[in-house]
Amino acid sequence: MKRLRFIHAADLHLDSPFKGMSALPERVRERVRESTFEALKELVALAIEEQVDFVLVSGDVYDVSDRSLRAQIRFQRAMEHLASNDIPAYLIHGNHDPEDGRAAKLVWPADVHFFASDDVQTYQIVKQDRGLIAEIHGISYRSSAVTENLALKFKRGEAHVCQIGLLHTNVDGDPHHDNYAPCSKQDLLDAGMHYWALGHVHTRTIVNEHPAIVYPGNLQGRSIRETGPRGCYLVEMDEFGRSELTFQALDTVRWFQEKLSVSGIQTEQELKDRIGELLDRLRQEAQGRDGIVRIVLEGRSDIHQRLRKGRALQELIDELREEEVDRGCFVWIESIEDRTASELDLTVVRQEKSYLGDLLRYGAELMNDEQLLSSFAGEALAALQGLPQHAGNPAAATPEQLREWLRAAETLAADLLTADGGWSG
């Protein structure tokens, strides 16, 4: 078996709409909107710099089956750049960009290979000075919802040639992703591949080391659910079919979710300074990229009451955002969630013989009984049913969401009943 080097990427989601960000300032909005395309440029640059033998893309090149012409032309341009450097690309269609989606009639370089959807297709990789170095097997999605176990269709080829499988799949039923083309880890092992180049799961995951079964994650984070570095794997295969994987961050806008304790913070100035320090730290972590962050304030402090007055928190957010707009690399505040509490110890109050004590004891009972909490929430939130814009659609709330709302309600009740040293009896 010959040594080889390649790049494994997946889930590019080019021209993703980044829903809910229309209110951003023009400069910020444009940087976010272009981020998937900029990450693609970084992918091509890496492939050329590392002089890889080929590039694999394991599905979902585009964000929707009705793919934009802009996205297709940008991708065509990227593939032409690879081809001009003698780097072939092998791609499959996934559930977001299935074969039956709308595709423009574009001319693709001869070195760009799209796998068919009717059966597993095999391409042999032949280098002029090294001969046959690998066989790549892959199959695309014909439509957006494939429920067949496609892994069972794969069969290894030449005995002494590196065997690579390209598949967009949900291995072992990951509950956080649609269960398309479901298969088990054992199904993949049984196929006899040296490397499985998977797509669909956006969090990079090494399912198995030898043989390698790998999700590289998506190329660019697209929401607060996709935090941290995003990119691809640079893969070195040795003569024994073992792979060495090096993750390469290619994202140009990085998403963060950070908790910030308000313990000890007494004034708005102290809070502003503390958030400023957090933004500076994230700017360093982003290493020259732009960033978007959701900050969760938690803990007990006098600042809790100040944040609850008028529009104090929103005004603070607006001012901090204003300071970021004109920076070379911004860290945009997506939102700040206030989960703080007053310095009133609710654990102590819960033991008191008082109206608030009774209320908190009932809350504790609800917290510890999922069925009772669900029943209570159904009654308490009945007026909001059918109005999904309110409270994140109460009818679809998870038990954890209900507990979070209950905790917030307890804090609010305690604030109102003890405001300004008010009634405690």
All structural domains of the chain, each given as residue ranges with its CATH number in brackets, are 4-251 (3.60.21.10), 253-343 (no CATH), 346-425 (no CATH)
Regarding beta strands 231-237 and 243-249, do their DSSP bridges make them parallel or antiparallel, or are they unpaired? antiparallel
pLDDT score recorded for residue 419: 62
Percentage of the chain surpassing pLDDT 70? 95
Structure tokens at 194: 């040296």
**For the residues 29-52, what does the mean pLDDT come to?**
97
pLDDT score recorded for residue 399: 86
Spatial distance between the Cα atoms of 250 and 91, rounded to a whole number of angstroms: 19
391-418 confidence digits (pLDDT tens) = 455 666 888 888 888 887 877 787 777 7
Percentage of the chain surpassing pLDDT 90? 69
Is residue 120 pLDDT above 60, yes or no?
Answer: yes
Is residue 99 pLDDT above 80, yes or no?
Answer: yes
**For the residues 271-283, what does the mean pLDDT come to?**
97
Which residues face 90 on adjacent strands? Answer: 56, 113
pLDDT score recorded for residue 421: 46
- Segment among 88-97, 186-195, 385-394 with least mean pLDDT: 385-394
Rg (CA), the chain: 26
**For the residues 141-145, what does the mean pLDDT come to?**
92
Q: Which position has the token pair 């081809």?
A: 83
31's enclosing H/E stretch is helix 26-33
Band (pLDDT 50/70/90 cuts) for residue 385 is low
Q: Which position has the token pair 């009133």?
A: 344
CA distances from 260 to 103, 224, 272, 341, 358 (A): 46, 17, 12, 13, 31
**Average pLDDT value for the chain:** 91
**For the residues 69-80, what does the mean pLDDT come to?**
97
Spatial distance between the Cα atoms of 342 and 307, rounded to a whole number of angstroms: 11
**For the residues 45-56, what does the mean pLDDT come to?**
98
In this structure, which amino acid lies at residue 392? G
pLDDT score recorded for residue 394: 61
211-251 confidence digits (pLDDT tens) = 999 999 999 999 999 999 999 999 999 999 999 999 999 99
CA distances from 279 to 232, 266, 283, 312 (A): 26, 20, 6, 19
Is residue 336 pLDDT above 80, yes or no?
Answer: yes
pLDDT score recorded for residue 393: 58
Band (pLDDT 50/70/90 cuts) for residue 424 is very low
Cβ atoms of 211 and 195 closer than 8 Å: yes
Burial of 217 (0-12, 13-18, 19+ CB in 10 A): buried
In this structure, which amino acid lies at residue 150? L
Q: How many CB atoms lie within 10 A of CB 273?
A: 12
93's enclosing H/E stretch is none
State whether residue 101 is helix, strand or coil.
coil
Annotate 222-239 with b (16+ C-beta within 10 A) or e (fewer). Answer: beeebbebbbbbbbebee
**For the residues 35-63, what does the mean pLDDT come to?**
97
In this structure, which amino acid lies at residue 129? D
168-218 confidence digits (pLDDT tens) = 999 998 777 778 999 999 999 999 999 999 999 999 999 999 999 999 999
State whether residue 390 is helix, strand or coil.
coil
Regarding beta strands 290-300 and 253-261, do their DSSP bridges make them parallel or antiparallel, or are they unpaired? parallel
Regarding beta strands 205-208 and 112-114, do their DSSP bridges make them parallel or antiparallel, or are they unpaired? unpaired
pLDDT score recorded for residue 391: 45
pLDDT score recorded for residue 22: 73
331's enclosing H/E stretch is strand 331-341
State whether residue 7 is helix, strand or coil.
strand
Helix then strand count (H, E) for the chain reads: 11, 15
Is residue 329 pLDDT above 50, yes or no?
Answer: yes
342-367 confidence digits (pLDDT tens) = 767 778 878 888 888 888 899 888 89
